[in-house]
Homo-oligomer: A and B are copies of this chain.
């Protein structure tokens, strides 16, 4: 190989590593930001019209997401002591889009100590924007036997998209 060819190959590998790193950093910042109630910073992880679809709540756009963080329900969790612990994240980049799978635990503090309130499956879709990678859609379902949760994990691990709830 010429030095130019080596350079091109190296650039391709480094671009993939840098993309995965940036995407992973979005995911790893979610827990610390949401547990500290930083509504603006949480919302800014998404695209302006990004979707956050959790059991029982369908948010679209940053205002919806920031409102969830500021809600009495979420502020109540923070005051009691909540931990959104994200496990290791599996990212699949395909040019300017990416899909990821992850698990998280919501651990809550209470009179009898700490307990796992919920274990959740996440399917993430990311897009490359002028402001860097952003979350286009995050779909989350509790792992309570719901087959939707299994589908999210499997599609996320294989890098395939899932149908949007609003269009289904």
Contacting residue for A29 out of B28, B90, B105, CB 8 A = B90
Contacting residue for A35 out of B4, B21, B117, B150, CB 8 A = B150
Which residues of chain A in 90-121 are interfacial with respect to chain B, using CB atoms and an 8 Å cutoff?
90-91, 101-105, 107, 109, 113-119, 121
Q: How many residues on the A side are at the interface (Cβ–Cβ under 8 A)?
A: 67
Q: Which of A10-18, A53-61, A125-133 contacts B (4 or more CB under 8 A)?
A: A10-18
Residue of B nearest to A116 (CB): B114
| B36 in contact with A153 (CB, 8 Å) | yes
A105 to B103, CA, bound (A): 11
What's the nearest-Cβ distance from chain B to residue A85, in Å?
4
Contacting residue for A143 out of B90, B107, B151, B157, CB 8 A = B107
| A101 in contact with B32 (CB, 8 Å) | yes
| B143 in contact with A109 (CB, 8 Å) | yes
A48 in the interface (beta carbon within 8 A): no
* Chain A contacts to B: CB under 8 angstroms: 3-4, 6-7, 10-11, 13-14, 17-18, 20-21, 24-25, 27-29, 31-33, 35-38, 41, 78-91, 101-105, 107, 109, 113-119, 121, 142-146, 149-151, 153-154, 156-158
